[in-house]
Chain A
Amino acid sequence: MGRYVIRRLLQMIPVFFGATLLIFLMVNVMGDPVAGLCGDRKCDPATAAQLKKEFGLDKPVWQQYATYMGNVFTGDFGTAFNGQKVTELMSTAFPLTIRLTLVAIVFEIVIGISLGVVTGLRRGRPVDTVVLLLTLVVIAIPTFVTGLLLQLLLGVEWGVMKPSVSSEAPVNELIVPGLVLASVSLAYVTRLTRTSIAENRRADYVRTAIAKGLPRRRVITRHLLRNSLIPVVTFIGTDIGALMGGAIVTERIFNIHGVGFQLYQGILRQSTQTVVGFVTVLVLVFLVANLIVDLLYAVLDPRIRYA
């Protein structure tokens, strides 16, 4: 298994370079970023040339990419157009988004899996039908609708919470945004768990476990749930990256200055350094999350071996 892990880590290298190169090219295709810095007027040519030199935009793209990657390995992600270091932006944005993502994941795991187990064990009963209908509704409604609606109801009409998250973003202010962010994935987790549980309930090893006279609780948690979790874990693992990158909508609605917000601003202002820097880190998060998922399989199901 040690070999397997090393091989996986090595495989990350080409994926990492490929992904960052693609992003780099895409941002560069969008045209000249300096032109947007001067508002509705033309930048004076001397200043524009000077700025391009400072941001290294006067060189050919491949050279820009090479210098950029060289700098990244020394921990220098460059400077955004407003003069802030990209690492400085990251150090304020990532903790917020990670916190928000954790809240969302906890919701997915706790609520999603519990609902899935309950409905999976009671397939066809009223509880099952109600939860299925609810998840269908959640999946059907776009996140921004849920977000704006909750914000309006809880924040303005009933005054239960503040409509926007303060700049410190403590966890209690992140509960509603986290729930909104998690909502769609939560519905999927419920449905995945339900199907998986319902299927495995009739498996031989479950029957054996029951026949051995094990207590119901142990049968469900140790035997049934553990094996049924494999597709769910896959989903949640890949969802970590998706949640971090896809938080743009939720972060905008609740005024969270996290990764989504910085990426959005970076794209609007065509700040190559910001966009590529943030995406680079997100790519790493995706890769690591996928690795963890793959390794967790063996923990859940000892029959799975790595070669």
Chain B
Amino acid sequence: MRGATHAKWAACAVTVALAATACGGGGGNGGGGDGSGIVGSSWGDPQNPLEPANTNEVQGGKVLDMLFRGLVRYDPKTGEAKNMVAEKIDTKDSQSFTVKIKDGWKFSNGEKVTAKSFVDAWNYGAHLKNNQKNAYFFGYIEGYDKVHPEKGDASAETLSGLKVVDDTTFTVKLTQKFSTWPKTLGYPAFAPLPKAFYDDHDAWLAKPVGNGPYTVDSYAKGSKMSLRKWDGYSGADKAQNGGVDLKVYTDNNTAYTDLMAGNLDLVDDVPASQLKNAKSDLGDRYINTPAGIIQTLAFPFYDSKWSKSGMEKVRQGLSMAINRDQITDTIFQKTRTPATDWTSPVLGEAGGYKEGLCGDACKYDAGQAKKLISDGGGIPGGTLKITYNADTGSHKEWVDAVCNSINKALGNDKSCVGSPVGTFADFRSKASQQKLDGAWRAGWQMDYPLIQNFLQPLYYTDAPSNDGKWSDKKFDELVDKANAETDTAKAVSTFQDAEKVLAEQMAVIPLWYQNGSAGYSDRISDVALNQFSVPVYNEIKVS
């Protein structure tokens, strides 16, 4: 029986080799019970661990919005910052603030929300050793340079500008005047945290506990999170449904197919390829509303070729050579709106959005474009290179379209070319280290609905997201002046004056405002997207 011996040997070898590859059995994931009133919604795997000060993208932010309520909350319809946990936030000089919180708020594990819950959470978020990606949000608070120095180790454990007065009061001292600072507090990074967070961090991450309208029922990382309505919730905006099941999809096309097949209630990111059909597939269950996102073309001002005088004419000319209407219609199916300023329509007139602030420079005019570019000395090197990341977001399509538009306007098919970079990480590392030449695609998703957020982090001298290193004294002065202004209306108009400097210099070319798009099943109603293009889950009703 030769064959049999061979088979035995084969089996032995297999066992030996397999033992080396064995990697432990899979942990079962508890599927939430299919109770009534549960909304099934699509989700993407959050990029970072789910901690308030560590979450900087939409997918994680979605969960935090259900689990937490901070001092203020942005009205999902108007974007106005309204007090939530805060009773009032007072200041006399726009620099020292006294925060008084409402009594009676609780975390879902029974702990009381006190002034300490906020102060401890902010200290945690700001401290260098905790690696929180949103630490810079606490940068305006006095003592930040001690707990989060640019180099070396922290020399203090807590922010000196934060003081607990009593159970419901704490004071904040900022390093500079910042009149609209209380309005920034709706950002998830400023959420309060319960003691359980520090006591057993891993357990908290596995099942986060907050003070919002929902609690986490079960969380299978990377595949599904079941949130349930929390009956003990203290706020007025109680959940109108029994809960939300967030399901991670490998591809938003599959999520859309699931919605079509009746397996899913809500898709908050309609794939580009389905935009054409979404209207006819879903009718008025298709939502397409503006979000606080603007896309721009940025330039390397660290390169003398681009920063010398006269180049502003070239940049204005390039802006005029881009046919925004045509591109947003054909490529984006009207899910983008041509930009005419550097903010976003979600701010509203009172918040600082001003239609047409960019003037003629943002209107398509091929003849004028050609003239301006040659007046300014032509495109450096003769060809404009637009760098983009090719892995996500269908950037190739629109960059090619923008280049086409420029080439056609200038009558030279070598005026503009797209230059893809493999991954987003690589693209970002090149941009943030000033290694790009020519132009690149840039985008900004607001942190909070304030005009300040669209200007200061991006164009102020050496601001953290000023990748192009644009710098203008007049602009900086106006921003400082606006921040010191105690009257909101005056602050806004001063910011707009600063924005006019952007228009004169064309520091970046505004392309279009991005919309949030969503589709939902006929099982649910009252679906809306907020200014961050996140569904307002607590208002969704299930029939």
Contacts and interface: CB of A to CB of B under 8 A. Distances in A.
Interface of A: 1-2, 5, 8-9, 12, 30-47, 50-51, 54, 81-84, 87-92, 94-96, 151-152, 155-156, 159, 162-164, 166-168, 251-257, 261-262, 264-265, 267-270, 281, 284-285, 287-288, 291-292, 295-296, 298-299, 302
B135 A44 contact: yes
Given A9-B16, A40-B445, A255-B249, A296 B224 contact: no
A36 B133 contact: no
A163 B249 CA distance: 12
Given A31-B425, A47-B133, 17 more contacts: A31-B423, A36-B425, A39-B56, A44-B135, A47-B131, A50-B131, A91-B27, A155-B261, A163-B257, A164-B258, A168-B29, A257-B222, A268-B391, A295-B13, A295-B14, A299-B3, A299-B10
Interface stretch (B18-26, B100-108, B310-318): B18-26
A164 B424 CA distance: 27
Contacts of A151: 254, 257
B243 to A, nearest CB: 17
Contact of A47 (B2, B7, B132, B247): B132
B189 interface: no
8 contacts: A1-B5, A36-B425, A38-B56, A42-B464, A43-B133, A255-B251, A270-B423, A284-B20
Contact of B21 (A54, A255, A267, A288): A288
A274 B35 CA distance: 36
Contact of B23 (A37, A91, A251, A254): A91
Give the residue among B9, B16, B427, B465 with the most A Cβ atoms within 10 A: B9
B136 interface: yes
A110 to B, nearest CB: 21
B333 interface: no
Nearest to B152: A46
Contacts of A89: 222
Interface residues of B, number: 81
A253 B221 contact: no
Given A1-B9, A33-B425, A92 B133 contact: no
B331 interface: no
A215 B20 CA distance: 44
B61 to A, nearest CB: 11
B23 A298 contact: no
B429 A84 contact: no
A91 B250 contact: no
B26 A94 contact: yes
A42 B49 contact: no
A269 B255 CA distance: 21
Contacts of A267: 423
Contact of B465 (A42, A159, A257, A261): A42
Contact of A83 (B13, B49, B422): B49
Contact of B13 (A92, A155, A156, A291): A291
A37 B27 CA distance: 28
Contacts of B24: 87, 90-91
Contact of A96 (B26, B45, B48): B26
Contact of B10 (A34, A94, A261, A292): A292
Give the 8 A-B CB pairs with smallest separation, nearest first: A36-B425, A35-B429, A83-B49, A32-B429, A295-B10, A31-B426, A95-B26, A167-B223
B25 A91 contact: yes
Contacts of A30: 422-423, 425-426
Contacts of A37: 47-48, 133, 425
B10 A40 contact: no
Interface in B436-476: 442-445, 457, 464-465, 467
A269 B151 contact: no
Interface string B147-180: 0111100000000000000000000000000000
B26 to A, nearest CB: 4
A299 B413 CA distance: 65
B6 A295 contact: yes
A37 to B, nearest CB: 6
B133 A38 contact: yes
Interface string B382-402: 000000000110000000000
Contacts, number: 227
Given A5-B9, A96-B26, A288-B18, A88 B261 contact: no
Given A47-B133, A288-B18, A168 B250 contact: no
Contacts of A94: 23, 26
A45 B46 CA distance: 22
Given A35-B429, A82-B48, A287 B261 contact: no
Given A92-B223, A302-B2, A38 B428 contact: yes
A205 to B, nearest CB: 16
Contact of B14 (A164, A264, A288): A288
B135 A167 contact: no
Contacts of B272: none
Contact of B29 (A50, A54, A167, A268): A167
A249 to B, nearest CB: 10
A39 B223 CA distance: 22
A82 B46 contact: yes
Contacts of B360: none
Contacts of A81: 47-48
Nearest to A296: B10
Given A44-B464, A83-B205, A257-B223, A252 B251 contact: yes
B261 A156 contact: yes
A47 B23 CA distance: 33
B422 A253 contact: no
A92 B2 contact: no
B326 interface: no
Interface in B22-68: 23-29, 31, 45-49, 56-57
A47 B131 CA distance: 6
B251 A50 contact: no
Given A88-B221, A92-B223, A288-B18, A166 B432 contact: no
A82 B45 CA distance: 9
Contacts of A51: 131
B86 interface: no
B224 to A, nearest CB: 5
A164 B429 contact: no
Contacts of A270: 423, 425-426
B443 A40 contact: yes
